[in-house]
Structure 1
């Protein structure tokens, strides 16, 4: 019997897709109308020729990469230890990891300024390096729900107890087990969380603005107040960059965790020296 085409499902999918694609097309069309009477990429050329665009984009990219590294170094050992030794407190850790979704970023950044301002016991905002560090910490906190969920789901499909016992039986320390066994086996999960972190941090506005950092988010807002067509071009570029991150996340996420080999740890030879 020939299977009928699912018209209702296709219609619902088409309506849902048009909800996103029609405004996107309208924004793209508007970005091409900078020169009156014809379509051109003049708005995109104006954006790329702006020195502040490249400076803010590179700054946000570096800060986002730092947030990814710090987030992975914090989340992976935490999720590993909770699953291996402290399963009873896992609901508490999951609740804490969801707190950034509840607390607004403006409250978070004002708390940072209050705790680490010029009058505090650890004045980090008085120096540029300290403020950059605060911004990285803020991005790590904002991306914590996504990074922790990705890593925790990755560890759920591998037998970390067996991997730990095998590594320890070969003479590996706990730190080496995490670095050379657990990290490679949840690499795809870490990459998924990394791309989500990058997408969130790249266009973030509140933290970067209130900490007075030259990030990409405040630049987009300022450009939207001063220009007409360039903000639409940046919106399309940001959307494309986000979709590239999502595609890469799908690419790395399609790889099954646990396909890495267990490293060979050096053991003392049991054979006696040749006389």
Structure 2
């Protein structure tokens, strides 16, 4: 006996859902050609960006091989690696070592104080989000010279207790890096539903420290790497605070050396720039490899 197909009755909610889907599909088709630029436009934009990045580097590299009498020479590179001009090399070495020490201390402050405080407030006290947002972004609106004037009483106390050590600049550098660390971490926390993860871990008996170390921070690997690189770049490139407080860092050493031998100053600047690019490339490759490995493991898991 043949079955008679009866028309399916659609409820008003089903009709509304289908109508909304049709509208979204029509809008997607209408704007699809505007979602990404054409190949020519993309090539032009990438070429301009590559030119903006590479032309200064090529200019710096060419300048380091230039001879004062005209032509090209390797004497400036030999002078740097052979240790000629002991005062200049000693000044650059002291500035570089001080800056690397400041990077380590600033990162220690960031990972011990700033990052746990940001995660704690965003996860446990979401009502303080707006206040935290304002306080964390405030250093971006304060000029460096005003920050030095405000921190002068603090540095006078630390000088009496610890002496005029360069590491105390890390207190100011931590304040300078706070806005960038905050924006990077909050983007990662919002994307992974940190409050839900923290509540689930604590409902299973995990303490706050264990939740932070074993649940939240592993999910923030990429924001943490980005914050580390940004903080390192800020410390290595900062000049105003260290100059006003009479501290020897890489930037103040480059200015002092540039008055005596501008070629060595440019060579060190070029080396630091290339090292920064290499660190960014390596960290980006590690992040992509980790993400790909996690996706592969997730697919293989039954």
Do these two structures clear the TM 0.5 threshold for a shared fold by scoring above it? yes
* Equivalent in 42, 57, 62 of residue 24 of structure 1: 57
* Equivalent in 66, 78, 94 of residue 105 of structure 2: 66
- Alignment partner of 1:125 is 2:159: yes
Verify the 8 A CA contact 1:113 1:125 in the aligned structure 2: no
Verify the 8 A CA contact 2:189 2:220 in the aligned structure 1: yes
Higher percent of residues as helix: 2
Q: Deviations over 1:40-66 (max 9, x none)?
A: 443233334312222221221111111
Counterparts of residues 3-152 of structure 1 (less than 5 Å): 6-34=39-67, 36-48=69-81, 49=83, 50-117=89-156, 123-126=157-160, 129=163, 131-152=165-186
2:8 is matched with which residue? none
TM-score (norm 2): 0.73
Q: Where does the alignment leave 5 or more consecutive residues of structure 1 unmatched?
A: 118-122, 260-275
* Equivalent in 179, 194, 209 of residue 213 of structure 2: 179
Alpha-carbon RMSD = 2.6
Verify the 8 A CA contact 1:64 1:197 in the aligned structure 2: yes
* Equivalent in 187, 191, 195 of residue 153 of structure 1: 187
Structure with higher Rg: it is 2
Change (3 A) 1:229 1:102: same
Shift of 1:30: 0.9
Tell me the distance in 2 between the aligned counterparts of 1:128 and 1:22. Answer: 45
1:163 is matched with which residue? 197
Change (3 A) 1:145 1:251: farther
Change (3 A) 1:73 1:110: same
Shift of 1:36: 4.2
Q: Where does the alignment leave 5 or more consecutive residues of structure 2 unmatched?
A: 1-37, 84-88, 295-302
TM-score (norm 1): 0.79
Change (3 A) 1:116 1:51: closer
